Every structure is written in structure tokens, then in C-alpha cells.
Amino acid sequence: MTKNFKITIEYDGSRYHGWQRQKKDCSIQDEIEKALKKMTSCKVSLIGSGRTDAGVHAAGQVANFKCDTRLEPEAFFMGLNSLLPEDIIIKDCKSVGMAFHARYDARSKVYHYKILNRAVPAAVGRQYSWFLRKALDRQKMRAAIAHIIGRHDFKAFEGAGSPRQNTTREVFSAELIEHEGGTLIFQIEADGFLRYMVRNLVGTLVDVGFGKITPADFKDILDSGDRSQAGATAPARGLTLIRVNY
Amino acid sequence: MTKNFKITIEYDGSRYHGWQRQKKDCSIQDEIEKALKKMTSCKVSLIGSGRTDAGVHAAGQVANFKCDTRLEPEAFFMGLNSLLPEDIIIKDCKSVGMAFHARYDARSKVYHYKILNRAVPAAVGRQYSWFLRKALDRQKMRAAIAHIIGRHDFKAFEGAGSPRQNTTREVFSAELIEHEGGTLIFQIEADGFLRYMVRNLVGTLVDVGFGKITPADFKDILDSGDRSQAGATAPARGLTLIRVNY
């Protein structure tokens, strides 16, 4: 009997060329599909909620796969975790209705981008943040962040070379959370994200924080829909897909 | 002119055989002394606030060194950070009075021990916590923790093979902090620590959390002064020296 399984995945993306299966390089999807093949002896296709780029991490990526099997979710949960490398963990495995589709059914996603804003780089956990020495003006960054909340065309923050027909997305919430020791978390929830959107937003917000542009300039860039006006793409290692909501 | 410098150090201890200089294996002290030698062309002896064991991390270890040099603290700060490997960071360098001694003058130290208590191990940051699958009873652990606050003989929690004359220490504060996602932080501040003391306390607190022993048994072990009654030593990777107070 064909069943549909929903899995929630945590991974450290440092070693991987992203979520998506690649011809040559190793990917998260590829590792999980290989493990599923070992368990079921069938070729199983894993549908992720969306791609994450090379070096990006996840605390709660979601995917589904269909498989003609007698195995129960618990067996996949145990089996996958024993087969997968230690930087990929299956946090949960559930049986879901055949109609469930990890990408189409996602209502929103939450991302964190971590910046370390202090005099010196991190020694502990250095693969999980973007180090910036010069002090960021949090207040100005927050003023800029206010402009992205709501429904907007995010074309100015889309990565080059991967244009979408529809570049309008709704940002449900976005905020800058401060922790002690100079750690800043940019947290954003939206109904969907364009390629590089969070990292391009962060790169441009950092320009605001450094005083290179004003929060009003940031709004103009958003309104312009022109990628060439936005800031640089922030490095992958600071980004984590926290949660996918259905 | 001989000067005395106080440095604050962050390190990821995963790769090292601890703080202390070793004959063969690489240590944090050794790496910093080598860098100081490159900068000053003299053999400089680094005095740490205390040792940390192999695999233990630090967010704020403190050390001092004396050196006949024209260099200012800023030069050591910049120079050491450019010479040291990326898992050792000098967070601060200050000129201090000749009498300052990083070990003798320390008034207290704060340690964190991180436990990940959930169904599956960590993929992200797995070198910084101790994974325990079975649910820990936080309330019982807190009841046990209450017994260690104040002045006590901690002989029962001292590592074998490194006996001290005086095993009495004063614990100024100790608590169990809960974060989302199953992360527990045992935070302790004391005027000093015996070898393996935090890790032996944590190992025994985990026995309490699992219901193997009661909080009252925990107090009896403390009072007994008998190491053989205490629990196992918790793994090094969960432990971080947060701060040394002077």
C-alpha cells in the first residue's frame, strides 16, 4: 500500500551543497534519498518544502515522500537516523494523507539570520554566524525592517539567475532580536521566499546598520524592484530555516 | 620595561587537549605562548585562571603574562588574533598592575553545562552539548541543585587522581535554565572548582533527573565526601567556562 510520510529535518549545512539533489556534489536531499533506498530497496523521491542553499542550516526543514511499504513512521524515524550522517537528523516522521505536499501546502516559513557584531570573530560556533566588527545601528535597522512587513514585490532582493514569474511575497513578521555578547538574530516569517531573499535583505539591512544608506533608502530599494540597488548577499552560514508551517 | 598583560580568551576546545601546556599534544596555552613568542621573540609564560580539560570550551577564560616589551595591549590584541588559529580568539587585552595574577586573584568563575534533552541528537552545534534522550525531571534536578548552594566540601565530586588538600568550595549560585527545543543549561558560579567538579555534579544531577536517585540521595552523596557514590562524569563537550570574576 502506498503511504505518504512527512519528515522534519535538522541539518548543519556546512558540508553540503544545499538541500537540492546535485549531479556531483553531496546534498541533504541526496543523503536522505540514499538512506530511504537502503531501507525500502525502492527509489524514493523526497519533496522538500523548498531548497536551502549551500552552507545554509535547518532546525526544521520539512519534506514528504511516498512509498509502497509496510514500514511505519517510527521505523523510518529510527532507521533514517541510524543511516544518516551525524549532521543530518530526522526530528520527526509522521504518516500523512496522500494529498499532502511539502512544498505546495506550506503556509509560511520562519528563517533566522545570525550576525555576530562585536570586536572579534567567534571561536565557538563560528560556522553559524556572520561576523561584523563595526557597530551596527540597531534602531536604524529596525526602522528599515518595518518597511518589509506586509505584502510586497521583493524583486529587488531576488538572487540573479533564478527569476520567478511572481516575486510578490507576504511577510507576516520580521524583527531584530538582540542577545548578549553581540549576537543579533534577524527573524522573518513569510508565506514564501525568493532565492537569496533573506540573505539579500540582511546584506542591505547591514548597509543601513552601518549608515551607508538610510531606512528610507531601504524602502526605495524595495519599491524599485531593482536588484542592483540592494546590498551584497550575506554569507550562507548565518542562515537557518527554523520552521515550516502548514 | 616589564609589563603585565591580562587577556580574555574564547576558545572551541574540541581540537585541544585542554588549556594546560602538554609535552606532546596541542593545548590552548601552548598555542598562545607560541604566538607570544613570535611577537616578542622571548619565551613568555602564560598564567591561566585555571585549567580546562580536553574538549572543554571557554567564552571568557582569563590569563596574564609578563613581558619586557614596548608593545601596547592593542598590539597584542591585534597580533595574537592574527597569529592564532580560528578556534582561539583573544576578546580583550589590558595592561594591569604587576601584582595581578590570573589564578590567585580570581574571586569566582561561572560555568555552563549544556544538555540536549529531546528525542534526537543535535545536527547543528553537536560539539557543544551532551545529548540525553530520556526525559529529565527538571523539578527533581532543581531540588538537588538547591543542596549545593553555599559552602560545602565537594570531595565526592572531585575527579580521581588529582586530590587537593582543601576540597571545600563556596557555590554562590547554581541553577537549571530551560530553553526551547529541549536545551537545558546548568549554570554554576563558585569561588573555585575541583577537577571534574562541574562534570561530576552534572553526571549525578542527571541520575536525579532520571529518577535513579532522589534529591535527598544527592545531598547524602555530597555529605559523604565519597566519589564512588556520585554519578558518572558528564562529557567534556557540554562544558564552557563563561567568565572569571576578579
Q: Which domain-ending residue is among A96, A118, A134?
A: A96
Burial of B46 from C-beta contacts in 10 A (0-12 / 13-18 / 19+): buried
What is the DSSP secondary structure assignment for residue A230, as one 8-state letter?
A: S
Judge if B29 and B85 occupy the same domain.
yes
Judge if A113 and A231 occupy the same domain.
yes
Q: Nearest Cα to A193, choosing from A202, A180, A182?
A: A202
CB–CB contact B121 A86 (8 Å):
yes
Judge if A9 and A87 occupy the same domain.
yes
Distance CA B122, CA B125 (A): 7
Is B165's pLDDT higher than 90? no
Provide the shortest C-alpha distance from residue B168 to chain A (in Å).
32
Mean pLDDT of B100-114: 97
Mean pLDDT of B205-218: 98
Judge if A65 and A168 occupy the same domain.
no
Which among A11, A121, A125 is the nearest to B123, CB-wise?
A11
Q: Which residues of B touch A122 (CB under 8 A)?
A: 10, 89
CB–CB contact A119 B91 (8 Å):
yes
Residue B86 lies in a domain: yes
Q: Which residue of A has its CA nearest to B241?
A: A124
pTM: 0.91
Residue B101 lies in a domain: no
Phi, psi at residue B242, to the nearest 5°? -80, -45
Q: Would you please indicate which residues of A are annotated as catalytic (active-site) residues? A: 53
Which among B90, B120, B128 is the nearest to A125, CB-wise?
B128
Judge if B167 and B123 occupy the same domain.
yes
Stretch (H or E) spanning A206: helix A197-209
* Ramachandran quadrant class, B29 (left: phi over 0; alpha: psi -120 to 50; beta: rest): alpha
Q: What is the pLDDT of residue B82?
A: 96
Residue A172 lies in a domain: yes
pLDDT digits (tens, 9 = 90+) for B227-244: 888 889 999 999 999 999
CATH number at residue A21: 3.30.70.580
Q: What is the pLDDT of residue A141?
A: 98
Is A159's pLDDT higher than 90? no
Q: What is the pLDDT of residue B42?
A: 84
Q: Which domain-ending residue is among A96, A131, A157?
A: A96
Q: What is the pLDDT of residue A196?
A: 95
Name the domain count of chain A. Answer: 2
Partners of A176 in beta bridges: A186
CB–CB contact A91 B119 (8 Å):
yes
Distance CA B146, CA B215 (A): 9
Is B160's pLDDT higher than 80? no
Is A160's pLDDT higher than 80? no
Interface test with A, best of B124, B179, B239, B243 (most A CBs within 10 A): B124
**Beta strands B57-68 and B46-48: pairing type?**
antiparallel
Judge if B157 and B85 occupy the same domain.
no
Is A49's pLDDT higher than 90? yes
If pLDDT is split at 50, 70 and 90, which confidence band does A25 have? confident
Partners of A245 in beta bridges: A108
pLDDT digits (tens, 9 = 90+) for A131-152: 999 999 999 999 999 999 999 9
CB–CB contact A123 B181 (8 Å):
no
Residue A54 lies in a domain: yes
If pLDDT is split at 50, 70 and 90, which confidence band does B142 have? very high
Is B184's pLDDT higher than 90? yes
Judge if A78 and A122 occupy the same domain.
no
Residue A192 lies in a domain: yes
Which among A91, A125, A181 is the nearest to B125, CB-wise?
A125
| ipTM of model | 0.85
Interface test with B, best of A86, A124, A183, A241 (most B CBs within 10 A): A124
CATH number at residue A229: 3.30.70.660
Q: Which domain-ending residue is among A64, A96, A128?
A: A96
Distance CA B187, CA B241 (A): 10
Residue B53 lies in a domain: yes
pLDDT digits (tens, 9 = 90+) for A208-221: 999 999 999 999 99
Q: Which residues of B touch A86 (CB under 8 A)?
A: 121, 123, 126
pLDDT digits (tens, 9 = 90+) for B4-41: 999 999 999 999 999 998 777 799 999 999 999 999 98
Q: What is the pLDDT of residue A150?
A: 97
Is A162's pLDDT higher than 80? no
Q: Would you please indicate which residues of B are annotated as catalytic (active-site) residues? A: 53
Residue A101 lies in a domain: no
CB–CB contact B128 A124 (8 Å):
yes
Judge if A90 and A123 occupy the same domain.
no
CB–CB contact A10 B126 (8 Å):
no
Provide the shortest C-alpha distance from residue A190 to chain B (in Å).
22
Q: Which residues of B touch A12 (CB under 8 A)?
A: 123-126
Q: What is the pLDDT of residue B164?
A: 75
Q: Which residues of B touch A126 (CB under 8 A)?
A: 12, 86-87
Residue B158 lies in a domain: yes
Q: Which residue of B has its CA nearest to A89?
A: B123
Q: What is the pLDDT of residue B73?
A: 96
Judge if A7 and A86 occupy the same domain.
yes
Q: Which residues of A touch B90 (CB under 8 A)?
A: 120
Contacts with B29 (C-beta within 8 Å, 6 or more apart), sequence order = B19, B20, B21, B46, B48, B63
Instruction: List the single range of A22-26, A54-58, A130-134, B43-47 with lowest mean pLDDT.
Output: A22-26
Q: At what angle do helices A215-224 and A197-209 cross, to 10 degrees?
A: 150
Q: Nearest Cα to A196, choosing from A53, A59, A50, A93?
A: A53
Residue numbers of the domain that contains A183: 108-245
Judge if A143 and A183 occupy the same domain.
yes
Judge if B122 and B241 occupy the same domain.
yes
Mean pLDDT of A36-53: 93
Judge if A73 and A127 occupy the same domain.
no
Distance CA A47, CA A20 (A): 10
